[in-house]
Amino acid sequence: MNRSALQSLILLLTVSLIYGSSFMLLKRGVESLSPLQVAATRLAAAGLIFLPFSLRSLREIPRNLRLPIMAVALIGAGVPSCLLALAQSQVSSSMVGALNSMPPLWVLVIGVVAYKQNIGVGACGGILLGLSGVLVLMFFSADDLLTGNNSYGAFVLLAGLGYGLSMLIIQTKLSRVKARLIPAATYVLLLPVTLGLVLTTAVPSAIFASAAAWHSFNHVILLSLFANVFGFSLFVTLIQRENAAYASIVHYLVPPIATLWGFLDGEILSWNHFVGMALIGAGVYVTTRPVNRGKLN
């Protein structure tokens, strides 16, 4: 393995560890704050952290690339943060982590639809495997009965769609933008909206009125620092060093890490977690194999 490949592998493992661990912080956040409060606080904190370092550097982004940056901000950060917080308030962190392994399949589907990417029979089979895993995770519990709250997993799938689309935008539209500028622009552009949401959802009064809310708030700040600031910055670097398909392999490693954290936190793991996770993992593996992947034009 040459030096460049080793550096990419280290980036891949680091991002996987950060993202896989983030669901436990998210779980702690929604214990005493609403999903919207968590999402707004998470995004606003990231914007405030980036703000002092980005005001001058944001001018380096060409005007014709500001629309793709806005798209990444909305569909790759803003909307997914709200959807994941909503899902985490109803289902376990291990399930959210498992369902969050879908972006590689979304990358392929979007590539076919939007970029006319050619795929083979193997890739189609991988998509079906992944979708079957999603169905097992969302609709079957340990006693083989349908469970109501698991339907909130659909929000994780929608968040994954946003992640997949934003990854392709970064690869195809923003490959020449410096990696440090994309995360900074993403969260700073959202800052007026996210700060407004922090105030309108009464986050300040909530955290000072309740020790439990303050505890949740601290976990959300840690989530923002590690996942949104460090994690996303490293992830963008990985996409630009390699490509969206390579970077999406992060989602192979996220489910077992999230599941381990859930187990350590006392979550009950049933057969559907392991079967669903295995099917999704197999689907992602089959789909992202070089022999089954097309190339984006």
pLDDT band for 47, please (50, 70, 90 cuts). Answer: very high
295 lies in some domain:
no
Single-letter amino acid code for the residue at 64: N
Where are any strands of DSSP class E within 125-275?
Answer: none
211 lies in some domain:
yes
Distance CA 17, CA 284 (A): 18
Of 137-146, 221-230, 272-281, highest mean pLDDT:
221-230
Q: What percent of the chain has pLDDT over 90?
A: 34
pTM assigned to the model: 0.80
How many beta carbons lie within 10 A of that of residue 297, not counting itself?
8
297 lies in some domain:
no
249 lies in some domain:
yes
Burial of 148 (0-12, 13-18, 19+ CB in 10 A): exposed
Single-letter amino acid code for the residue at 127: I
Count of structural domains within the chain: 1
Mean pLDDT confidence for 235-255:
80
Distance CA 188, CA 202 (A): 21
Who has greater pLDDT, 216 or 242? 216
Q: What is the CA radius of gyration of the chain?
A: 19
14 lies in some domain:
yes
Mean pLDDT confidence for 107-121:
71
Q: Which residue has the tokens 């083989």?
A: 144
293 lies in some domain:
no
Task: Quote the domain boundaries for residue 158.
Answer: 3-288
pLDDT at res. 216: 95
**Are the beta carbons of 257 and 97 closer than 8 angstroms?**
yes
Burial of 48 (0-12, 13-18, 19+ CB in 10 A): middle
Of 2-6, 8-12, 45-49, 269-273, which gets the smallest average pLDDT?
A: 269-273
CA angle, 243 as apex, 240 and 244 as ends, to 5°?
110
296 lies in some domain:
no
160 lies in some domain:
yes
Whether residue 126 has pLDDT greater than 80: no
Mean pLDDT confidence for 53-73:
84
